[in-house]
Chain A
Amino acid sequence: MANYSTSEFKSGLKIMLDGDPHAIVENEFVKPGKGQAFSRVRLRNLKTNRVLDRTFKSGDSVEAADVVDTEMQYLYTDGEFWHFMMPDTFEQHAASKAVVGDARLWLKEQDSCQITLYNGAPLSISPQNFVELRIVMTDPGVRGDTASGGTKPATLETGAVVKVPLFIEEGEVLKIDTRTGDYVSRVKA
């Protein structure tokens, strides 16, 4: 891939460092009145999600990382891989359980999600902020039962378990905040 010079550094730029793709979080230009200029950069390793600092000499260049963020449609899973499709090109991509991570709790067939591709292969998946999922199993709530704090567990069609108010029943569709795993509201079918 191409190279970037330090003069092109800015937040969001994707570069290779120590063999892994990184995103620039923050770039600070450091230069004394008489002396060498440096770029002091904060980076996030896109594989491990860890943040680190690295200083570059002004004018040095780094390898660009082939990292692309794109929207895809979730198709299905065979338990081992999760399959996605690019809406315009119908190109399909398969992501392993490790790459999908917790996102698998919120993926419903046909839903759109954000995928980060590294060298053309899925690196990480982000579901939409809010999803609508059906409850497949939950105990009927007993009126006046406040012993459990007014909530009970409910299992959703994806296998995720969320805390819901007692009046919610099996078969209902719920709006869930995927960032926190919290019940937001019921959805009229």
Chain B
Amino acid sequence: MLARIRAFFAARDVMEVETPVLSLAAVTDPQLASLTVPAPGHDRYLRTSPEFAMKRLLAAGCGDIYEIAKVFRADEAGRYHNPEFSLVEWYRLGFDHHALMDEVEALLGHALDNIRAVTPVRRLTYRDAFAGYAGLDSATASIAACRDSLTARGIETDAELDRRGWLELLMSHVVVPECSRDGITFIYDFPEDQAALATVRLGAPPVASRFELLAYGVELANGFHELTDSYEQRARFERELAWRRRAGAPLVPLDENLLAALAHGLPACAGVAMGLDRLVMLAAGHDHIAQAMAFPWDTA
């Protein structure tokens, strides 16, 4: 699998890079928990993705790059999760998220040689996917409507969620499994408040230039037309820190090096991260991530 991936990028003149696994800064996303490592001078954080380091390389002028990266996410274990796992992450200058989806599709075709690789691949907007599979308009539906959509499908919860939380519940329990049940689907143009590090396009409503790749009910990749505005990026990080403060979650140091790189100038680009272990699961027909790893978490 690794050989195929390297050959794919070599043919397209995308350079392989290696970036540090430990950093003084951490991701502020409130839904990601970083593992910490005591180190001389200052504790360090294990990265949850190579994104920040790779963007610094891009700002420094390295051109198109990819990394096969070991990443770490605390408290994430299950059939498709291992706290230590691998991402294939790459960035293409001058691409938007549509062009990058084309390339993700091409990589899939190259990496998977069974019949599933030639399954037709669909592309749906987030809004259309919700309309089609959850029966509601993600832009305007009330919390009550989200609840009803779930109850009608036998999904019950007592959890306290805000509107975004209800959409995420619908997405993970209904939309993702249903829209990719027998094949491969891209969902793109996410709601503005789920933009993460993607640019947001004006509109009614504004949408984030973000996409996800779903294969047979499993999320395989997450991609962005990257945000290059350092002020907007800082504002998003600050909002995430404020959320952490309110929730009593650990506060983490902002990545000032990343923000400085953006201020210096990140070239227009699109980037995507694909779960390598899940790609191997798909290729080999495994039904648990442990089967795709030499030593899963409990035996490492």
Contacts and interface: CB of A to CB of B under 8 A. Distances in A.
Interface of A: 7, 28-38, 40, 52-58, 60
Contacts of B158: 54, 56
B78 interface: yes
Contact of B172 (A32, A53, A56): A32
Interface of B: 29, 31, 75-81, 154-161, 165, 168-169, 171-173, 176, 194, 196, 212, 219, 222, 273, 275
B78 A34 contact: no
A32 to B, nearest CB: 6
Nearest to A18: B158
A172 B154 CA distance: 53
A158 B172 CA distance: 53
B171 A35 contact: yes
B79 A57 contact: no
B173 A34 contact: no
A30 B155 CA distance: 14
Most buried by B among A30, A36, A37, A56: A36
Contacts of B275: 33
Contacts of A32: 168, 171-172, 176, 212, 219
A40 to B, nearest CB: 7
A53 B176 CA distance: 18
A34 B73 CA distance: 12
B156 A36 contact: no
A33 B190 CA distance: 14
Contacts of A31: 31, 76, 78, 81, 172
Contact of B78 (A28, A54, A57): A28
A57 B76 contact: no
Given A36-B165, A57-B165, A29 B156 contact: no
Given A29-B76, A31-B81, A36-B31, A60 B168 contact: no
Contacts, number: 76
Contacts of A7: 75
Most buried by B among A28, A34, A35, A52: A34
B159 A55 contact: yes
B31 A56 contact: no
A146 to B, nearest CB: 50
A81 B165 CA distance: 50
Contact of A29 (B31, B77, B168, B219): B77
Contacts of B75: 7, 37, 58
A25 B275 CA distance: 29
Contact of A34 (B156, B165, B169, B222): B222
Contacts of A28: 78-79
A44 to B, nearest CB: 15
Contact of B169 (A29, A38, A60): A38
11 contacts: A28-B79, A29-B76, A31-B31, A36-B31, A36-B165, A38-B159, A55-B157, A55-B169, A56-B159, A57-B161, A57-B165
B103 to A, nearest CB: 18
A40 B173 contact: yes
A34 B194 contact: yes
B273 A29 contact: no
B172 A29 contact: no
B79 A33 contact: no
Contacts of B29: 34
Nearest to B177: A30
A34 B126 CA distance: 15
A60 B159 contact: yes
Contact of B157 (A34, A37, A57): A57
Which 8 A-B pairs give the minimum distances between C-beta atoms?
Answer: A29-B78, A57-B159, A55-B157, A33-B222, A35-B168, A36-B168, A30-B172, A34-B196
B224 to A, nearest CB: 10
Nearest to A7: B75
Nearest to B221: A33
A30 B31 contact: no
B160 A57 contact: yes
Contacts of B165: 36, 57
A142 B172 CA distance: 67
B148 to A, nearest CB: 15
A62 to B, nearest CB: 9
Contacts of B76: 29, 31, 37
